[in-house]
Amino acid sequence: MPALALQGFGLVGTTLLRRLRAPVPAALLSQVTTTTTPHPEWQPGQNQPHPYGDSERVALDPAALASCYGLVISSGVPRPIAFVSSLDSEGRRNLAPFSYFNFVAHDPPLVAIGICRKRGEKKDSLANIEARGEFVVSIMSDWFIESANHCCGDFSSDVDEMALSGLTAARAKIVEPPLVAESAINMECKLVHKYEVKNAAGTDTTTVVIGQVVMFHVLEAVLDTVTHGPTKPTVHFDKLRPIARLGGNTYGIVNTVFDLPRPDRKV
């Protein structure tokens, strides 16, 4: 099976979804292998050169490129995906995935999402978040990737992507936008800040949305309240089976991991 070597951050390999010609067996999707680090014999001070010999390093000036999009989405990998649900001023649902996303703090828990303009206009998700000041981020897992990916379509603002893709709405506790019932992790968020990104011409091209998580919803099946106790819960990533965004149309599944503690910590 094709695999992509991703050294570091405890991640060795992801299965590439785009290039497989046959369906991935369910048993394989849920199978995670724990291995040693790539270089267990390494000692502090030893050099670890790249494996490409005399390959020249190419300097790429963003200002000289026609577009940085392909370079950016294929370089900053793997990325988690925010599956964002929101409501417009009339209460119509919107659901869309964004891979310019991650947590940026934990006290309080904050998420950041970069929402680019679409043909110069604000996307529905951004317009809804600005109007209502709240949204829900769900984490995408392999068992509903096809449904989630269908929400990427260029649909008009009156189309309910959740219904169109066959996904199920669940009621949130604090915010109005719905949870995605098929997701193992949903996070109710309140907008706390947004930052407008301008290009060299002074045109707004992206809005970075900062949201505070005011409520987590985690399926008990993926939740770990034993390792560190019920007040310091964690998630079993092998049960979460999260999807990683790579370049182009390629996604990945985490299936090989290793532990690599900080040098000031024991295993």
Full DSSP string of the chain:
--EEE--STTEEEEEESTT-SSPPPHHHHT--EE---S-TT--TT-----SSTTPPPPP--GGGSS-SHHHHHHHS-SB--EEEEEE-TT--EEEEEESSEEEEEETTEEEEEEEE-BTTB--HHHHHHHHHSEEEEEE-BGGGHHHHHHTTS---TT--HHHHTT--EE--SSSSSPEETT-SEEEEEEEEEEEEEE-TTS-EEEEEEEEEEEEEEE-GGGEE-SSS-TTS-EE-HHHH-BEEE-STT-EEEEEEE-----TTS--
pLDDT above 50 for 8: no
Q: Read off φ and ψ for residue 62, nearest 5 degrees.
A: -55, -35
- 17 has pLDDT over 70: no
Mean pLDDT of 217-221: 97
Backbone angles phi, psi at 148, to 5 degrees: -65, -45
Mean pLDDT value across the chain: 89
pLDDT, residue 31, reads 80
pLDDT in tens, 58-81: 999 999 999 999 999 999 999 999
Provide mean pLDDT across the span 101-111.
97
Residue 25 has pLDDT above 80, yes or no: no
pLDDT recorded at residue 203: 95
pLDDT confidence band for 16 (50 / 70 / 90):
low
What pLDDT shows up at residue 5? 33
Q: At residue 182, does pLDDT exceed 50?
A: yes
End-to-end CA distance of the chain: 31
Q: Provide the pLDDT for residue 71.
A: 95
125-180 pLDDT, tens digit per residue, is 999 999 999 999 999 999 999 999 999 888 888 888 999 999 999 999 999 999 99
Average pLDDT over residues 175-192: 97
Res 267: pLDDT: 59
Which regions of the chain carry the CATH code 2.30.110.10? Answer: 81-222
pLDDT at 13 over 70: no
Which residue is listed with tokens 């190419």? 58
Of 255, 226, 227, whose CA–CA distance to 12 is shortest? 255
Query: Which of these CATH numbers, 1.10.10.10, 3.40.50.970, 2.40.128.280, 2.30.110.10, describes 81-222?
Result: 2.30.110.10
Tell me which of 136 and 119 has the higher pLDDT.
136
Tell which residue, 139, 236, 120, has the closest CA to residue 179: 139
Q: Give the pLDDT confidence score for residue 255 in this predicted structure.
A: 86
Query: Sorting pLDDT into bands at 50, 70 and 90, what band is 9?
Result: very low
Q: What is the pLDDT of residue 265?
A: 76
* pLDDT, mean of residues 12-33: 57
User: Between these two residues, 17 and 99, which has the higher pLDDT value?
Assistant: 99
The more confident residue out of 244 and 17 is 244
